[in-house]
Structure 1
Amino acid sequence: MSFSPEEYKELLAEFRRCADEAYKKFNESLIPGTETAYGVRLPKLREMAKDVIRRDAEGFLAVSRAGSYEEILLRGLVIAGMKTGISRRLELVSAFLPLIDNWAVCDSFCSTFRFPNEEEKQRMWEFLRPLFLDSREFFARFAAVMLLDHYVTKEYLPEGLSLLKGVRSEAYYVQMAVAWAVSVCYVKFPAETLPVLQERVLPPFTQNKSIQKIRESFRVGKADKEMLLQYKL
């Protein structure tokens, strides 16, 4: 069953029916420089993505366009959630990354992935490794957010921390993602993550933002929060 251009037009009509002007303005205030064409809320986009996947994910991808924020995000949700082999998914991810130009698409895309087995998870990790050093802002952010969403585990932590320490991008959304990832690592593995902050190898903004985020966590004790202050730059 193919996904026709007429069906794609119906998706755009569904965007218009679900448009929320107040949400559109609010969402745009959170994503500087991005204009959302419709103002469709994320839960609705996830619902639409699931429907597309049930019908014909590949057919949808063949006719979809990057004409608006919502169209790009829906495409990402389909790519991350569709049933396909890891080789095909990585091919689609590679083609999708250049379309990401804001943190909201990046982070929603990352959170949608699920790995049915360790082999697929490892293949994705191999794909992510070079992206930590990528000069393109949202390629590097994608790597950091994928790490914090899926790879803060005992098996991946040592290499993950090493990769985070190696990020030198000065782009704001990369530094914020690295700080967020370091904070998640600390919350789950404080003893293993503390040396990263003690070494003071992160850029000053990232170091201080990591500490701030850790101190904001309800899962970190008061003593740790006070101790971490000595490592601010």
Structure 2
Amino acid sequence: MEPEAEIIRTQLFALRDETYRTFHSALMPTVPPETVIGVRVPALRRLAKQLAGTAQAEVFLQALPHGYYEENNLHAFLIELIRDYDRALAETEAFLPYINNWATCDCFCPKVFAKHKKELLVPIRRWLDSGEVYTVRYGMEMLMRYYLDDAFRPEYLEWAADVHSTEYYINMMRAWYFATALAKQPDAALPWLTEKRLDLWTHNKAIQKAVESRRIPPGMKQLLRGLRSRS
């Protein structure tokens, strides 16, 4: 390990919270507990801001694969702070193959992506077609984050629906995507449920998440409850 990366690891261990480590490890069954240090997210974000743009951070970003969960999250937060779109995209694509859990996958999004929605659609399609669990999940997350408001187009619902997988963490994100679409684009999203265009598991899970959401009005929730299916 490069000395700069070793120094960062030492900093992470200095921020360790053993109680949090025990709690958070239980939420990530795909992550070996011995690879979790136990650093809370606000502390990781503060460290990322301190390191951003430094030579030490540049070395750290090249030090893949990392050995600890928090090193991966710090890596993600450093990518978030990159202001150049092409560089942020390149670093994101270099990092995605090393993500091994939902928490790291869902925790980061380079801020500069919001200014390049048209260009971002190209890598999103590539991520959705990759076949890699967390790369697919990340692509769907970006589709949910940036393309359910002013940039929405009905075909994006088809992009999400066309991802067929037996992987739990992909299917959960797809259900989350459709539940969010029901809140933000109900006219376009609701027919996917009323016409039962989704697979049974995603159909029912999307309804469950929508019914649990505060963004869905009571009348819509009542309708959705009646759409639950057993076949």
Q: Same fold (TM over 0.5)?
A: yes
1:30 counterpart SS class: coil
- 1:18 paired residue number: 15
1:150 paired to 2:146: yes
Instruction: Give a deviation string over 1:25-60, Cα, whole Å, max 9, x none.
Output: 111100003124310111111111111114244343
Q: Write the letter of the residue equivalent to 1:159.
A: E
Given candidates 21, 27, 30, the residue that maps to 2:27 is 30
Using a 3 Å threshold, how does the CA distance of structure 1 residues 104 and 187 change in structure 2: closer, same or farther? same
1:96 counterpart SS class: helix
Q: Which 4+ runs in 1 deviate beyond 6 A?
A: none
1:193 counterpart SS class: helix
CA RMSD of aligned residues (A): 2.0
CA contact (8 A) 1:106 1:141 kept: yes
1:223 paired to 2:189: no
1:128-139 paired onto structure 2 within 5 Å? 128-139=124-135
CA contact (8 A) 2:82 2:110 kept: no
- Residues matched between the structures, number: 226
Matched residues in 1 for 2:149 and 2:12: separation? 38
Instruction: Give a deviation string over 1:190-214, Cα, whole Å, max 9, x none.
Output: 1121111122121111111100111
1:99 positional shift = 0.4
- 2:105 paired residue number: 106
CA contact (8 A) 1:133 1:140 kept: yes
1:200 counterpart SS class: coil
Using a 3 Å threshold, how does the CA distance of structure 1 residues 63 and 103 change in structure 2: closer, same or farther? closer
- 2:93 paired residue number: 94
Matched residues in 2 for 1:46 and 1:202: separation? 37
Q: Write the letter of the residue equivalent to 1:62.
A: Q
Given candidates 83, 108, 119, the residue that maps to 1:123 is 119
1:207 paired to 2:206: no
Structure 1 unpaired stretches of 5+ = none
1:65 positional shift = 4.6
1:183 paired to 2:182: no
- 1:81 paired residue number: 81
CA contact (8 A) 1:52 1:60 kept: no
1:67 counterpart SS class: coil
CA contact (8 A) 2:5 2:59 kept: no
1:172 paired to 2:168: yes
Q: Write the letter of the residue equivalent to 1:213.
A: K
Instruction: Give a deviation string over 1:67-116, Cα, whole Å, max 9, x none.
Output: 111111111211222222x222222222111101100000002xx32137
1:115 counterpart SS class: helix
- 1:69 paired residue number: 69
1:123 positional shift = 1.6
Instruction: Give a deviation string over 1:127-157, Cα, whole Å, max 9, x none.
Output: 0013223322111111111122222123234
2:62 counterpart SS class: helix
Matched residues in 2 for 1:117 and 1:141: separation? 18
CA contact (8 A) 1:64 1:75 kept: no
More deviation, 191-200/17-26: 191-200
- Tell me the TM-score normalized by structure 2: 0.89
More helix per residue: 1 or 2? 1
Q: Write the letter of the residue equivalent to 2:86.
A: S
1:163 paired to 2:138: no
- Tell me the TM-score normalized by structure 1: 0.89
Using a 3 Å threshold, how does the CA distance of structure 1 residues 79 and 33 change in structure 2: closer, same or farther? same
